[in-house]
Every structure is written in structure tokens, then in C-alpha cells.
Amino acid sequence: MSERDVILSAKDVEVQFQVRGRILTAIRGISLDIYEGETIAIVGESGSGKSVFTKTFTGMLETNGQISNGSVIFEGKDLTKLKKDQDWEGIRGAKISTVFQDPMTSLNPVRTIGYQIAEVIIKHQKKSKDEAKKLAIKLMEEVGISDAANRYDEYPFQYSGGMRQRIVIAIALACHPKILICDEPTTALDVTIQAQILKLIKDLQKEYGYTTVYITHDLGVVANVADRVAVMYAGQIVEIGKAEEVFYTPKHPYTWALLSSLPQLGIKGEDLYAITGTPPSLYDKVVGDAFAPRNPYAMQIDFEEEPPMFKVSDTHYAKTWLLDPRAPKAEPPKAIQNLHKRLLSITDERGDYRG
Amino acid sequence: MKRYFLGRLIRSIFSIFIVVIIAIVMIFGLIPKEKVFENDPQLSKLSGKPDDRTTYIYTRWEELGYLDYVTQADMCKAYSDDYNECMRLDVTQETNETGKVVDVYSNSEEGQKVIKIYEEQGYTVDYMTTGFAWASRDNSIFNIAVKYITNMFKVDNPWAVTDPDNPDMDRSIYFGTDNNGMPALKCSGCEHQYLIYVDGSFPFIHQNWISLNFGRSYPTYSGSYTMDVISDQQGEYVQKEVTFDNGTTAMSSLDLHSCQYKQTSTLDRMDKSRFETNYANCKSFKSEASMINMSYIFGIISLIIAYIIAIPSGIIMAQKKDKWQDKLGMVYINVMIAVPSLAFIYFARNIGIMFNQPTKFPTYGGGDIRSYILPGIILALLSTASLMIWMRRYMVDQSNADYVKFARAKGLSQGEIFRRHILKNAIIPIVNGIPSSIILCIGGSVITESVFSIPGMGKMLPDAINANNNAMIITLTFIFTALSIIALLLGDVLMTFVDPRIQLSSKGETR
């Protein structure tokens, strides 16, 4: 992994929001290198800052939010320094694209599908209308819309949810972006369509060679597609590593808790595991480990001092005091021990969940 | 689409009639008929003459449709072979309680027989001081409603006129030319001479073929048909050089296209010197537009100004949400909503005075543009506030939509998003309201028209209700209902052009 080129490098990113006169620190110093061509998944519960973090790549923070510290270097440029819309021209939508959660509402209901695809091509690739139409139809075919030429002039309400998400992907890929951010791309779709969309994004990645950043709370999606996984909690990355490392040898108690609460891994006859408590308020300064109050393995130091990133392997890091040599040895919960074997037992030979 | 329209049209017509019938029932069923004379100065002049008074009252009521009124003469004409015997009165002299000798009249046997026939038909019979009988029978509300509705549409035809002095009249519809040489569809034997004609005023092709008829206006504008009251030109007569049928040219204000049949017995020398046919009963050109047109002109002027001001302001406010432009607009909207419209009208009028604008419409009349500027602007400003706030609201709603977020992620600039995406969505509800705004201008505005003494429609309905002008109330009810329904339909049709999701079709119909 390390021999690959870093395409985007975030350093100590901190994002703050003004909410009714108070300051909320949504991202508390994240450093993350994203490598060219990889698929990285950012997982975490609602409010952990997954979306906010990736919004700093495209300058799409809400107007009351600002990047208060750190840098995001992309192609030699610090994206945190870009303020105006003109500055983002040529990056947002052209080199870094986003696919949003709800395909039902992501498209303008009163513009034709064709118009909405061609618009981007005209804008970023400076093509004429006719050329843009040809390219758009080709794109529609690539994302699996049959009879694309005839459906070019149709409106979003004439498309099903899955087809709309294909169109959204087509629009996002229209300008051959370097990075594709998928913000919960399958949450609003039913399971069979989910699989199709994930496969589509994967297949097109081979052709277009983009880097994919998944934002999701669905660990099933992560297991399916991700090369690397970053687990976020309370505005920080608490564990990052290759997908196998995070799934099979997780080190952070929060990752343990997340995996334990997967319904598929529940043990028959036992109650499904649920993480107790709620995440800390980000209005106040978090002292120590943010997860400590909910952490059954918490030690005294967790409440006093923030843990550093401990290196587990070259690719695997976790932010917990449990990895300190002085810490007592803690066993992961039973539900996720031997996860590899357990997963094999509940999935078929193709790797799909048997249910 | 076709089936949808047909269904909707039928429902619309049905609802118009329902509304008219409700109005008729309210007017004729709930308001005592004596009320119609409250504003009639004529009646007080007759207070010393009981017979004339009775005749006047009952003739009016019959005209208004409340009842059937017959005099003894009518009765005798209808049922007696010997009119004179029927009308004969026997006089005897009797002494009453105070010792005075008075004449007592009694009807002849023939007369009593005829009166009996009417009594049997349900008429109430009474006697004048002259001894002659008269009878009346109230019409049921059902009959009144049926009469109104069956008479509502008058279709002119070559057998419409009956003139005993002109029995050999040609009865036909034919193509001809008018006195200016323009083509026209003419008629002989119809009420109107010109059924369809062309002239220089909007909408250029006009017709007299089908007309609405709601009876005559009373007590205000007494004697004229209600439709004429609101649609005839007003003001002073305007004379032009007119070439009549027989080639004579004279200065005259007559509108030859409006000429109607005049009975031969009533033709005077003047008529005979100008017209070859009996179509000599013409309307006149006058200096001011009709009430409807007057209100319409002001309505359209103000509407255009209002949209020109409000739509862009609303858009700018939404685009610059929470910036100074938005705050300034909000202050304006709040002031406009908070200040009573009458106060605003007088305030704006006083500003107008500083710029030497007339304060009354009649000062310069309809021919002068200055008469329109101040009222037009005031009417426009009065409606800007709500338009602005809705436009802003729709824009702001749309700018929070997901597709806007995605459009931003696509790399479109803020301006492009507003122009290409938000505006097209936000304008949909505004477009739906445009036909109503245009068509319902006809109703005029009560306050502004009163303040500027504009002879428009604004005060017609309240005035008609105050004066118990039944026919006028029904006329206005019909017009406003019909226009509202048409406006709604047009609004929906217009929506299909701006919103592809909306298709006007009934269930099961293929698109």
C-alpha cells in the first residue's frame, strides 16, 4: 500500500460549526492519506463526522461551518484555502465528485435526465451541446441504462430509484474524476439494488481508475467493497487499517462494539449487543478518550489523557490506550473472536450472506 | 387529456350553476321582497295615490320575477269574449258608518266569472279604489331559478323579432359588409343587425350572436340590462363622422355595430333619414371604457408592475438570504403587510401630489396616461408584498433540496444552480396563480377605485347588495364564479408546461 501514490492528504483537519452562538467542533484533528486507486471506507455512527470530513474535500460545508485548522492537500493545492466558488471550479464535480444518499431527491425533478448529465459535461469539459449529448448517452449505457438514447429526454420521476442512482453515478463520473465520494450511496435502496449499485461502482472503477471514498454505517457494504477502513468516533479516526485487519483483528474497543452489534453476527438465543450511552457533546472540549464513558474496558488514563495513534502494523493503526505496553491485556468480546471463521460459516462460497 | 377536460368542463359548468342557484335562493328566499324598494325614490312620490302605488309595486315585483301580476284588463283579455262587458262596473251609492255617502263599485257578472277563474288558479284577488280587480300569485323559488337559467343565454336568430307593422320582413343570416367596408356576418330578423363583425379594438373580432341575460338592473341603473351596465362604455358621448346605410354622412356618436331592431311604430324621422332598415336602436360611443374594461386596465397595469417588481426582488432576497438585501426586503414586506391598505393608499397619493399627479381619475379622464400612473403603482405595490414573500419562500425551500446539494457537488456555481435548477422549481406555484391574477383583475379593487373615483367594478357587488339590486348580484355572482373556475383550469393547464410531473388525465386514461 505504501508504495502507492498519495492522492489526497488530510493533516490535522479540524472543522467547527457556529450553532446558535456556540461552537461545535465536529472534526477534531483528523489526518488521513488516501492512496490513488484504492477504495477506502469511512464508518461510524450518525454524528461521528464522516460526511463533514469528506465535505472538506469538496468545499461543501454548510455556511455556518469552517475549517479551523489543518490542511487538505490535493494535487499540490491546499483545499482548505479555497473559499469562493470560482476557486473550486475545476475541482468540485470535475476531479472530486460526490454521490449522495438519496437518489430520489438528488436529481432536479423538472429537468430531463439528459440535461442534468450534459450540463456537467458542458461545464467542465467545455463540449458543445451535441457532443455532450453523445457523451451523456454513452455514460448512461455504461451505468446500465438500456435504451439510453430514448430515455435521454425523460424526467427523473419516470425512473426507478435504482436507475436514478445509476444516473447520479453517471453524472458524478461524467468528467472522469480522480476521487469519487460515495456518501451512503445505497442506504435508500433495497438490498438487491444495493448489490447492483455497489458492483457498478466497483466495475466502473476498473475502467475509470478513480479512488473511491465510501461513507457508510453499513458494515456489510464495507466488507464487500473496501480495501481500507477508517473507523470514526466523535470527530476522530479511532482505528484505520486494511479491511481484513479491521474486521479480523480489531484493536479499538469501539470497533469491537461496532462489530459486536452487527445483527448477522448475533448468537442465537442471546440478546443482540448494543453500545450503551450516547456520544459525547462536541460543544465542550473532550477530555481523554471520547469513547471512555461508554467503554467497558476503560482505564483511569482514558478519562485523563487522549490516547495517541498506536501502530499495530505498517497499515494498521488504532487510537486506544489498550495498545500501550503498560496496559493490561484485554480480550475482544466473544461475539467477534474468530470472526473470520464465523463469517465463513454464515456466508456462502461467493461471500454473500446466507441470512 | 381530452377526457379529463371534458369531465372537468362538465363539473365546472355544474358548479357554476349550483353557485348561481344558491345565490338565487338566498336572494329570493331569504330577503323579504319589500326590501327592494328601500332605495327607490320613485315610491315616495306615489304615497298619496294608493292605486298608482300598488300598480308600481306589483309591476316592479313582476319585473323582478317575484310574482305574476294581472290587472282586470289583463284578465278580461285572457278569458272573456266580451271585453267591454267584462270591464263594466256597476255603481251603487251607500251610506257608511260615519254617515257619508260613498260610491260602491261591483263587477259585472262576466267580470266576476273571469276573476273567479284566477282565484281558482291560486291568485290573490284585490280591488283598486276605482273598483277594478287585480290579482297576484307568488312565483316559487324553483320557478324563479328555472326562469333565470333558461333565459341566461340568449342566442340571436332570424325569428327573434316580431313586428306587426313589418310582416314581410326578410328573415335570414348572410355575409355582408359593414359601413366601413369590413366583412361581417349580418342578419335580418334577428335582434342584432351584426352577428359577427371586425373592428380596430381588441380582440378585433366581436360577436352579438350569443349574449348573457340576467334581466334589468333595479333600483340602481334602473331600466338597463345588468350586462349592459357593466359592459357599456361610460362618460360623455364621442362624436365621429359616420356614414349610414343610405349613404348620408353625419357627426354622430352611434356605434352602428351595436344596432338592434326597433319596432316600426317607434321609428322617428331621424331614424328614417339615416337607416334603411329597422335596425336603428344603437348604442353610443362614449369617452370612457366600460366598468369591466376600466377595472381590467388598472388590474393589468398593476399586475405587470407587481410581477416585474416582486418576482426579481423575491429571487434576489432568496439568493442573498440573511444578507442586507434580504433584510431590506423583509422590512419592506413587513411594512406593507402591517400598514392598513387605506393608509398606504392615502400616503402614496400624497407622495403623488408632490409629483403633480392627479388625485382623481376624472380630472384628466381615461384618455390621459397620468390618470393611470398613481393608481396603477399603488395597486401594484399593494400586491408586491405577498408575491415577494412567496417567491422568496419557494426559492429558499428549493435551495435546501437535495438536488441543489448534488448540483453543487457537480461543480455548478451558485448562479447556475439558481438559474437552471431552483428557479424552474420555485416558479411552478407562482405560474399556477398567474391566470387567476390576470382574469380576476376584472373584479376591480374596492378601496383604490373609491379613493381615486375610478368608475370600475370594485364597488359594484357591495353596492348591488346594499341596494338590493337582485339582478346585478346574480349577474356578478355568475361572472365571478365562471371566471374563477376558468382561471383555475387555465392555471392547471399552465402547470403542465412548467412541471413535467403533472399530466392532466383522468384515471385509466393513457398519457
**Secondary structure (DSSP) of B85-141:** HHH-EEEEEEE-TTS-EEEEEEE-HHHHHHHHHHHHTT-EEEE-TTS-EEEEEEPPH
Q: Is A46 helix (H, G, I), strand (E, B) or coil?
A: coil
Structural domain count of chain A? 1
Q: 263594466: which residue's cell?
A: B88
Interface of A with B in 26-65 (CB under 8 A): 58, 60
Give B-chain residues touching A102 at CB under 8 angstroms. Answer: 402
| Contact by Cβ (8 Å): B203, B170 | no
- Can you say whether the dihedral through the CA atoms of A341, A342, A347, A351 is positive or negative? negative
Evaluate whether residue B130 is within a structural domain.
yes
* B413 Cβ under 8 Å from any chain A Cβ: yes
A95, part of any domain: no
Nearest CB partner across the interface for B409, out of A58, A86, A105: A58
pLDDT band per the 50, 70, 90 thresholds, residue A348: low
Q: Does B405 touch chain A (CB under 8 A)?
A: yes
Residue-number span of the structural domain to which A314 is assigned? 231-346
pLDDT at A145 over 60: yes
Taking contacts as CB-CB distances below 8 angstroms, the residues of chain B near A89 are: 411, 413
Domains held by chain B: number: 3
pLDDT value of residue B356:
87
Q: Are residues B272 and B300 in the same domain?
A: no
In a domain, B21, yes or no: no
Query: Distance (Å) from the C-alpha of residue B440 to the closest C-alpha of chain A?
Result: 29
Q: How does pLDDT run across A214-227, given as a tens digit for each residue?
A: 998 888 788 888 99
Checking DSSP bridges between strand B133-138 and strand B205-207, what pairing results, if any? unpaired
Contact at 8 Å (CB) between B454 and B363?
Answer: no
The answer to whether the peptide bond before residue B203 is cis (omega within 30 degrees of 0) is: yes
Q: Which residue of B has its CA nearest to A107?
A: B403
Of A106, A123, A155, the CB nearest to B406: A106
Residue in B394, B396, B406, B428 to test binding to A, most A beta-carbons within 10 Å: B406
Q: Bridge partners of A8?
A: A34, A74
Q: Which residue of A has its CA nearest to B426?
A: A110
Q: How far is B324 from chain A (nearest CA, A)?
A: 16
Work out whether strand A211-216 and strand A39-43 pair parallel, antiparallel, or are unpaired. Answer: parallel
A-B contacts (CB, under 8 Å): 80
A93 contact residues in B (CB cutoff 8 A):
409-412
Q: A334 lies in a domain?
A: yes
Cα–Cα distance measured from residue B110 to residue B312, given in angstroms and rounded to the nearest whole number: 82
> Is B411 near chain A, with CB under 8 Å?
yes
pLDDT the model gives residue B277 = 83
For B256, the domain range is 157-208+239-284
Can you name the residues that pair with B188 across neighbouring β-strands?
Answer: B172
Contact present, A193 and A162 (Cβ < 8 Å): yes
Residue B7 resides in a domain: no
Whether B303 and B269 map to the same domain: the answer is: no
pLDDT band (50, 70, 90) for residue A1: very low
Determine contact: A83 vs chain B, CB below 8 A.
no
> A25-73, pLDDT tens digit by residue?
999 999 999 999 899 999 988 888 888 999 999 888 888 888 998 999 9
Could you tell me if A92 lies within 8 Å of chain B, comparing CB atoms? Answer: yes
For residue B279, give the C-alpha cell: 335596425
Sign (positive or negative) of CA dihedral B487, B489, B495, B497: negative
Of A92, A108, A111, the CB nearest to B409: A92
Q: Check CB contact of B502 with chain A, cutoff 8 Å.
A: no
Based on the domain organization, do B351 and B263 belong to the same domain?
Answer: no
Domain identity same for B309 and B262: no
Residues in chain B within 8 Å Cβ distance of A120: 410-412
**Interface residue B142 vs chain A (CB under 8 A):** no
Q: Which of A85, A98, A172 sits opposite B413 (nearest CB)?
A: A85
Task: Please indicate whether, in this complex, the C-beta atoms of B406 and A120 are within 8 angstroms of each other.
Answer: no
Q: CA of A120, closest CA in chain B: separation in Å? A: 7
Inter-chain touch A92–B408, beta carbons under 8 Å: yes
Dist CA A13 CA B500 (whole Å):
44
Contact B409 A86 (CB under 8 A): no
Q: Say whether both B296 and B165 belong to one domain.
A: no
Q: What are phi and psi of B369, to 5 degrees?
A: -65, -25
ipTM of the complex: 0.85
| Residue A225 within a domain | no
Per-residue pLDDT of chain B (511 residues; tens, 9 = 90+): 788 888 888 999 999 999 999 999 998 888 888 888 887 778 888 888 888 888 889 988 888 888 889 888 888 888 888 888 888 888 888 777 777 777 778 888 888 888 888 888 888 888 888 888 889 998 888 988 888 888 888 888 888 888 888 888 888 888 888 877 888 898 888 888 888 998 877 788 888 888 888 888 888 888 888 888 888 888 888 888 888 877 788 888 888 888 888 888 888 888 888 888 888 888 888 888 888 888 988 999 999 999 999 999 999 999 888 899 999 999 999 999 999 989 999 999 999 999 888 888 888 887 888 889 999 999 999 999 999 999 999 999 998 888 998 998 888 888 889 989 999 999 999 998 898 888 888 887 888 888 888 888 888 888 888 888 888 999 999 999 999 999 998 898 888 888 888 887 766 555 4
Q: Would you say residue A61 lies in a domain?
A: no
Q: C-alpha angle B161/B165/B166, rounded to 5°? A: 55
In a domain, A271, yes or no: yes
Q: Is the pLDDT of residue A2 over 60?
A: no
* Chain A residues close to B500, C-beta within 8 Å: 109-110, 112, 155, 157
Cβ–Cβ below 8 Å for B405 and A111:
no
Does residue B258 sit within a domain? yes
Query: Which member of B401, B410, B499 has the closest CB to residue A93?
Result: B410
Question: What was the pLDDT predicted at B217?
Answer: 86
Separation of alpha carbons B511 and B508, rounded Å: 9
Same domain, B302 and B275: no
Residues B217 and B467: their CA atoms lie apart, in Å, by 11
Contact B419/A at CB under 8 A: no
Q: How close is the nearest chain A Cα to the Cα of B506, in Å?
A: 19
Q: How near does any CA of chain B get to the CA of A179, in Å?
A: 12
Residue A345 has pLDDT above 80, yes or no: no
Q: Is residue B335 part of a domain?
A: yes
Question: CATH number of the domain that A296 lies in?
Answer: 3.40.50.300
Closest to B255 (Cα-Cα) out of B272, B237, B235, B267: B237
* Interchain CB distance below 8 Å, B406 and A168: yes
Nearest to A93 among B402, B403, B409 (CB): B409
Does the distance separating the beta carbons of B403 and A109 come in below 8 Å? yes
Question: Measured between alpha carbons, how far is B417 from B474 in angstroms, rounded to an integer?
Answer: 50
A85 vs B contacts (CB less than 8 Å): 413-414
The alpha carbon of residue A91 and the mean position of all alpha carbons in its chain are separated, in whole angstroms, by: 19
**Cα distance from A58 to chain B (closest Cα, Å)?**
7
Residue A59 lies in a domain: no
- B260 with B318, same domain: the answer is no
B414/A110 CB distance under 8 A? no
Helix (H) or strand (E) holding A303: none
**Which residue among B411, B421, B501 places its CB closest to the CB of A93?**
B411
- Show residues of chain B in contact with A98, CB under 8 Å: 406, 409
pLDDT band at A238 (very low <50, low <70, confident <90, very high): very high
Q: Does B499 touch chain A (CB under 8 A)?
A: yes
Percent of chain A exceeding pLDDT 90 equals 35
CB contacts of B495 in chain A (<8 Å) are none
Asked if B410 and B261 sit in the same domain, the reply is no
Taking the Cβ of residue B396 and every Cβ of chain A, the question of whether any pair is shorter than 8 Å is answered with no
pLDDT at A3 over 60: no
Interface test with B, best of A108, A167, A171, A175 (most B CBs within 10 A): A108
Residue B410 and residue A119: Cβ atoms within 8 Å?
yes
Mark whether B302 and B409 lie in a shared domain.
Answer: yes
CATH number of the domain within which B389 lies: 1.10.3720.10
Yes or no, beta carbons of B411 and A88 under 8 Å apart: yes
Least Cα distance to B128 among B101, B94, B105, B98 occurs for: B105
Per-residue exposure over B405-441, b if at least 16 CB sit within 10 Å of its own CB, e if not: bbbbbbbbbeebbbebbbbbbbbbbbebebbbbbbeb
Residue pointed to by grid coordinates 486506544: A320
Q: Residue A68 — φ and ψ, nearest 5°?
A: -90, -15
B72 and B193 part of one domain: no
Whether B408 sits inside 8 A of A60 (CB atoms) is yes
B405 and B272 part of one domain: no
Q: Looking at the domain assignment, is residue A4 inside a domain?
A: no
CA–CA dist B121, B124 (Å, integer): 9
Assess if residue A280 is contained within a domain.
Answer: yes
